[in-house]
Structure 1
């Protein structure tokens, strides 16, 4: 499978770096990454596996990540609704009236906004590493590092992001420190402004859907959650699945919070089953 292309979508002085796999005539699948996560956090081999099964896969750098537009430190000036609108603009730029949307962590929150406020634009929704935010859910076990004093330091950024990922995935037996450091080094070296990547997304305005909640989602829905998620224990994903009418729930054995500790087939097999079923219902 060959990447079709990498392109830049431009609007309102914002540029988003977008990468596509597969054939554009196939049903589209839009992948939305988590907080401070570039498109690389959707591993290329996962994108290729989905595309080789007959889907057109789109991953992209959100604002302040990778090669997309960076904002002044501490002043991102955007909200989760703006990030949801970015996803729709990417679809518009590709001439896509609708798409299957897969979100991870913060990306699940963005996908939820799309599913609730723009259900006509979604063929299905998949939420990975999501939470309802309810106070009675169990707390995570990960201990997050303090921000480095020098956000511009490559070495400090790599060390910080490694410890941050350990806080997300450290319970997983698949957490490989050497492999994770190599991946994070690649991600840091690719970023236009790693200081903005680290500091700006947590400072954005977090907004809720305008036209309902998870209980109003009326499109085919799949919730997936890592068994060893150190941020949101499995109960968080189970709670999300209970709220969404007719949602399926899949636990990813041995996985932490990110896809980097997920066995590829454990993720792609139920995802592809869900996507194909949603296509048959259209």
Structure 2
């Protein structure tokens, strides 16, 4: 069900994409968060969504995976450019409207797309995201690794994701390490991938805020999230007219495989309807 990876030229920016399922089905664009390449939308998850009748697209954000990279500490973009990238990927695939699933940091991408490009957004799903108005959690993060030491970077990714999982019983260290090894091996510039998303300008939409989103919206949040505690998910739901909240039990700031039996059917129901 999966295509080969394809590097697209989107207004002079190289973005590596991969699709799952039939392009005749409603499109679901998966947008990940800080420092995360497309690999962190697991193949098995993408395949399950596609098997339910969706055309799934995942991609490497700038400075991750095989996409365009910039000098470490000097990203040549803002979060608004990430939203433009998402729209550009839809254009490249000939998709008029898509269901956007935006995770963690990329909740800002969903906000900008929903407010400034409403004609392109059939629905929005925010996963482990925030309005930015509440205090963050106090999870302890490991020290930054030497980006020239692949083994150290893999260990750092595993440690960060373990911290993100918090007290969840679902963290799979072996699977996380295997995916981190794949991620490091295919990343064009590790130093840029580790730093640049935290250095970019977080501009916002020009046409309003969360209260101006008109697309049907689902908020998905782990009840044990140590980064954005569950109150962030509640606040996000309350900020968006008509939004629904799905709280994932025993889940941190992640979307582990044991949650997919709940998440995938909810996403499929949420993305029913809407033209391509």
Range of TM-score over shorter length: over 0.9
1:237 maps to 2:197? no
Counterpart pick for 2:201 among 177, 200, 205: 205
1:140 maps to 2:137? yes
CA distance in 2, matches of 1:262, 1:86: 31
> Is the CA contact 1:100–1:122 (under 8 Å) kept in the aligned structure 2?
yes
CA distance in 2, matches of 1:3, 1:176: 24
1:11 maps to 2:10? yes
TM-fit CA distance, 1:70:
1.1
Computed over aligned residues only, the root mean square deviation of the Cα atoms, in angstroms, reads 1.6
Distance 1:261 1:165, change over 3 A: farther
Residue in 2 aligned with 1:84?
A: 83
> Is the CA contact 1:221–1:244 (under 8 Å) kept in the aligned structure 2?
yes
Superposed counterparts of 1:228-267, under 5 Å: 228-260=224-256, 263-267=259-263
TM-fit CA distance, 1:261:
5.8
Distance 1:13 1:93, change over 3 A: same
Distance 1:152 1:260, change over 3 A: farther
Distance 1:245 1:163, change over 3 A: same
TM-fit CA distance, 1:4:
3.0
TM-fit CA distance, 1:141:
3.3
> Is the CA contact 1:171–1:228 (under 8 Å) kept in the aligned structure 2?
yes
Q: For each residue in 1:148-171, what CA deviation from the matched residue of structure 2 results, as whole angstroms up to 9, or x when unmatched?
A: 2x2121011112212211221132
Aligned length: 276
CA distance in 2, matches of 1:144, 1:248: 31
> Is the CA contact 1:132–1:240 (under 8 Å) kept in the aligned structure 2?
yes
Unaligned runs of 5+ in 2: none
Q: For each residue in 1:166-190, what CA deviation from the matched residue of structure 2 results, as whole angstroms up to 9, or x when unmatched?
A: 2211321111323322221221112
1:179 maps to 2:178? no
- Which segment drifts farther, 166-175 or 88-97? 166-175
Unaligned runs of 5+ in 1: none
Residue in 2 aligned with 1:93?
A: 92
TM-fit CA distance, 1:12:
4.0
> Is the CA contact 1:229–1:257 (under 8 Å) kept in the aligned structure 2?
yes
After TM superposition, what 4+ stretches of structure 1 lie above 6 angstroms from structure 2? none
